[in-house]
Amino acid sequence: MSRLVFSRKPARFAMARIAGAIMPGAGASVGPLALEPDEQLPLPTSEWVRLHTRMAGICGSDLSLIDGTASAYFDPLVSYPFTPGHEIVADVANPDGTPGRRVAVVPVLSCVTRGITPLCPACTVGRINLCERAAFGHLSPGLQTGFCADTGGGWAHQMVAHPSQLIDVPADFTDEAAVLIEPTACAAHAAARYTGKETVIIGAGTLGLLTLAAITATRDKVRHAPIVVTARYAEQKRLAKKLGADVVCASDEMPRYVRSATNSLVFGDQLTCGAAHVIDCVGSSDSLQQALRVVAPGGEVQVVGMPSNVSLELTSLWHRETAIRGCYAYTHADFHTAIDVIRQHDLGHLVSATYALKDYTDAIAHAAAAGRRGAVKVAFDLRGS
């Protein structure tokens, strides 16, 4: 039994940043992430339960952490040492230690999980992703499970969770399908803003594909204009087409498609009209700038992919009254939507490769090069070990 632990070690953090800049994912072998013997965490309160992890995915935010590129913004929202992993399917441990119900974890550590009363205004209305108390209460700071020293994370054989974080996995779901519930919930949250007008999804990694899947599974009835998806690799293009994109193209080809579809004129690099809704699932300076170039006046750029430090020319935002709106995490309702989306599109096949925890450097290298290697989701498989 073992776990991966991310510690506060500035020197190693710096090495990870250098290594990650040279080869994405290389921060795993030189940085502050280490494989350690598992140890049983104390339950924060008697309400909490123990989980035995079955599978845990590797997310883009995990990779940015490992390669040292995550924003300093998160520093106060993380407590060290912690075990990463927030895309989790696990068994609840019965009091006698035997495996109980199979659950997916809602990793957000909101007021309820932190024992905070009264609930903050956001939690009161169920918008736990906007909880105002993520660094407070009886738990150490932690945006989510997987970033908090007290809860553990999915990259370990065992962890703890509050009952409010548990969503039962349908019996007909494989573990591969279940490990996608959390990222699909993110996508479902993004898809809720889809209006059916011209929409561009930038990026066809896991998040881009799942967002597309969530739109076509839940909002297809309102679709009355093309959905354009940019994808870099052949497998991503194939999957985007399969999941219902009207147009799948390379990033540099996208403005032409949008221009044509919206009968737009062009000044400089800027479309005069453009897509009503641009969903940026990359979150880089380039992708956001491109989103601003193709979004319609008064339209919205929705930032689903986690951005870090970006540099943007915002004149067009001012001139065209466009909006950039963040899109973070999910509510409990999004998890139930995610289950429907996964079932409808049979998304379990998007888990391309699984690794044992001990092979974590290979797993992370694979995840960091997923698109190039024809993969979508890479996960740790902790079953039977």
Partner 1 sequence: MPRPGFVLEVDRSTPSIMFWRGENFSLEKLPAGRSRVIYPPEPLEAIKDIDGAIRHALLNPHDQDPLPTQLFPGMKLTIAFDDVSLPLPKMRRPDTRQRVIEAVLDLAAAAGVDDVHLIAALGLHRRMHEYELRHALGDRVYDSFHPRGMLYQHDAEDHDNLAIIGTTDHGEVLEINKRAAESDLIIYVNINSVSMDGGWKSITTGLASYRCLSHHHNPETLENTRSLMGHRHQSALHTSVWRMGKVLKDHGPKIFQIETTLNTDMFPAPFDFLSKREWEWTARDRATFLATTKSLNRTPIKLARKIFHNMEGPHQMTSVQAGDTDAVHKITLEKVYEQQLVDVVGQTDILTMGIPYVCPYNPDGVMNPILVMCMGLGYLFNMYRNKPLVREGGVIIMTHPCYRDFNPVHHPSYIDFFEQVLADTTSPAEMSRKWEKQYAEDEWYKHLYRTGNAYHGVHPFYAWYWGAHGLQHAGKVIIVGGDPATVRRLGFTPASTMDDAFEIASDVVGRDATITHLHAPALLVADVQ
* Site of interaction with partner 1 (CB under 8 A): 247, 249, 253, 256-257, 259-260, 263-266
- Compute the distance between CA of residue 264 and CA of residue 134 in angstroms, rounded to an integer: 44
Question: Considering beta carbons, is residue 187 or 247 the nearer one to partner 1?
Answer: 247
- Compute the distance between CA of residue 44 and CA of residue 301 in angstroms, rounded to an integer: 39
Question: Considering beta carbons, is residue 246 or 340 the nearer one to partner 1?
Answer: 246
Question: Considering beta carbons, is residue 29 or 272 the nearer one to partner 1?
Answer: 272
Find the shortest distance in angstroms from Cβ 268 to partner 1: 13
Find the shortest distance in angstroms from Cβ 225 to partner 1: 14
Concatenating the DSSP letter of every residue in 236-302 gives: HHHHHHHTT-SEEE-GGGHHHHHHHHTT--EETTEESS-EEEEEESS-SHHHHHHHHHHEEEEEEEE
- Compute the distance between CA of residue 250 and CA of residue 170 in angstroms, rounded to an integer: 37
Concatenating the DSSP letter of every residue in 315-344 gives: HHHHHHT-EEEE-----HHHHHHHHHHHHH
Question: Considering beta carbons, is residue 239 or 365 the nearer one to partner 1?
Answer: 239
Question: Considering beta carbons, is residue 199 or 264 the nearer one to partner 1?
Answer: 264
Find the shortest distance in angstroms from Cβ 272 to partner 1: 9
Instruction: Tell me the HSE value of 27 on the side-chain side, using a 13 A CA sphere.
Output: 28
Find the shortest distance in angstroms from Cβ 118 to partner 1: 56
Question: Considering beta carbons, is residue 128 or 247 the nearer one to partner 1?
Answer: 247
Find the shortest distance in angstroms from Cβ 260 to partner 1: 5
Question: Considering beta carbons, is residue 257 or 360 the nearer one to partner 1?
Answer: 257
- Angstrom CA distances, 75 to 78, 306, 338, stand at 6, 15, 29
DSSP-H helix ranges across the chain: 10-22, 27-30, 60-66, 111-114, 121-124, 175-178, 181-191, 206-218, 234-242, 254-261, 285-294, 315-320, 332-345, 360-368
Find the shortest distance in angstroms from Cβ 265 to partner 1: 5
Find the shortest distance in angstroms from Cβ 237 to partner 1: 12
Find the shortest distance in angstroms from Cβ 264 to partner 1: 7
Task: With CA atoms as reference, report the closest residue to 203 among 314, 262, 288, 264.
Answer: 288
Token pair of 59 as six digits: 């997310």
Token pair of 235 as six digits: 């497998």
Question: Considering beta carbons, is residue 265 or 314 the nearer one to partner 1?
Answer: 265
